[in-house]
Amino acid sequence: MTRIFTRGRLALATSCAVLAAMIGGPAYAQDSTGSSDARTLVVTPLSFVKDTDLDFGQIIASGTAGTVTMDVDGNMTTTGGVTAAGGNPLPARFWGYGTFNQTLLINVDRNSYLLTREGGTETMRLDQVAIGSRPPIQIRTNPRRFRIANPDGFFAFTIVGRLRVGANQPSGIYRGEFTVTLEYE
């Protein structure tokens, strides 16, 4: 009996964007015109693609340090002097395509990242990076093994984590990047 194994390895870098906004002034109405985007996501066999970046939305910092933790559904909890202030928080979402019952390995390049403020040198740390499953599984540099349970071979997974916000964290947009590697077995 001869067995043929196909191994595909694809690394994809995704941005992790965070907005720490100091809410202060009044909100003003926008004009009454609007627009809409049309998009589609194409996934080919033995591949995966990024759908959305990890985005913690808008947060308000205070004189007390705290954290913002996102769960697999994009819900956030805060501790300390941090307040969630809206925006559109989203977990990073990826889609892949293999075959039913196929196993794959998912990992990230590390479990702690510095996000840097655009136009500045201030940072915040993203840690406790986890894959969005139930319950969330901590992702580390050693890959986690998963099995494709969907009969058509398509699957999705999210990446979430905890953001550490410093006391008196300067306002602005903080960005960082992490690499997700997926290996089909």
Residue 66 — pLDDT band, cuts 50, 70, 90? very high
**Mean per-residue pLDDT, 139-164:** 82
Please compute Rg for the chain using Cα positions: 19
Residue 180 — pLDDT band, cuts 50, 70, 90? confident
The 10s digit of each residue's pLDDT in 37-53 is 777 777 778 888 888 89
3-state secondary structure of 25: coil
Full domain range(s) for residue 178: 11-20+43-184
Q: Is 9 exposed, middle or buried (0-12, 13-18, 19+ CB in 10 A)?
A: exposed
pLDDT at 131 over 90: no
Q: Is residue 68 part of a domain?
A: yes
pLDDT at 153 over 70: yes
Q: Tally the domains of the chain.
A: 1
pLDDT value at residue 28 = 42
Exposure b/e, 140-170, CB count within 10 A at least 16 = b: eeeebebebeeeebebebbbbbbbbbbeebe
Q: Is residue 97 part of a domain?
A: yes
- Measured in whole angstroms, the distance separating CA 113 from the mean position of its chain's CA atoms is 12
The residue type of 53 is: D
CATH, residue 104? 2.60.40
How far apart CA 120 and CA 129 sit, in angstroms, is 25
Q: Is residue 1 part of a domain?
A: no
How far apart CA 1 and CA 33 sit, in angstroms, is 65
Mean pLDDT for all residues in the chain = 77
Token digits of residue 40: 């589609």
Q: Is residue 53 part of a domain?
A: yes
Q: Is residue 29 part of a domain?
A: no
105 in Cβ contact with 145 (< 8 Å): yes
Q: Is residue 34 part of a domain?
A: no
